[in-house]
Amino acid sequence: MTSGGDSPGMNAAIRAVVRTGIYHGMEVFGIRRGYQGMIEGDIVQMQTTDVSNIIQRGGTILKTARSKEFMTNEGMDKAYAQLKVHGIEGLVLIGGDGTFRGAVNFFERHTIPAVGLPGTIDKDLAGTDFTIGFDTAVNTAVEAIDKIRDTAEAHDRLFIVELMGRDAGYIALHSGIACGAEDILIPETKTDIEEVLKRIDADERRKKAVHIIVVAEGDDFGGAKEVHERVALRFPKLDVRSCVLGHIQRGGAPTCADRILASRLGHAAVNALRSGNTQVMLGVMNDKVVYTPFARVVKGNTPISDDLLEMIRVLSV
């Protein structure tokens, strides 16, 4: 099952789960549209041919959805009844924070073995160095920002680029560093807009032609619109433009790194079910597959190091 926001590499994970399960003599079923599909019994048996030629595709062949009904006891009871009707004895849940929140509540009410795979572009889960889709999303953002810098330099413009990241700023952080952004504004740190404006003023005084500000949508000061308004107010003669990348960051063919991570975790998920190591999310830390209980995964992202934040300030001079 894939649930919540889609992320590049979900199909690679589905492929690995299906083929590993069948290799070990299991019957593998796909639940369409996440928890909502589970409630409605939208469940189909899958064969190896069903996952041919999908490892390179973005999105998810099982589709995904957000289910308010699953948040109720009645919804969870319906979902469990459908699993019993189809003879489902174990679950592999591919998703992010919301998926595992749902899993914690579901398994408090009904007992069924389950493992989770971190499928989210936000990298906002504890228990893994990277999440499936993060590398692709960052590379998509990097490619876009590089192109924006070209036109910013041609016209001596200041650009504000808003990236996804409602609660976690890892996409903005990694892509901003990789693109040499002059400022990176993220939810994990409090934004002092006056300091940002002082740096812009300093760049203007020393005739630095290009200034790129990367902002995560969940930054405490606001997104591109709010930053744009404040910068334009302070510097009326400066040519300021803003760009919101939006859902382009979710799509596209997964990178090599995401395909390998998804394949590795999908294979390990089936082996975890076989060994009875369940109610955990599988991740990779220090190049080893690790297991973290669902309850510890939710909103447990690693704090951003002070050294990294200092590096941003130094390299943006």
Amino acid 200 reads I
Cβ atoms of 17 and 270 within 8 Å: the answer is yes
3-state secondary structure (DSSP) of residue 278: coil
Distance of CA 192 to the CA centre of its chain: 26
Cβ neighbours of residue 151 under 8 Å, at least 6 residues apart? 157
Structure tokens at 88: 């489902």
Q: Token match 């009326």: residue?
A: 236
**115 φ, ψ (degrees, to nearest 5):** -130, 155
- The Cα 234–Cα 263 span in angstroms is 50
Helices and strands, counts by H and E, the chain: 11, 10
In the residue annotation, 122 being an active-site residue is answered as yes
Among 97, 122, 124, 258, which one carries the catalytic annotation? Answer: 122
CA proximity to 299, closest of 116, 137, 98, 141:
98
Amino acid 297 reads V
- The Cα 239–Cα 187 span in angstroms is 26
- The Cα 103–Cα 111 span in angstroms is 11
Residues marked active site are found at 122
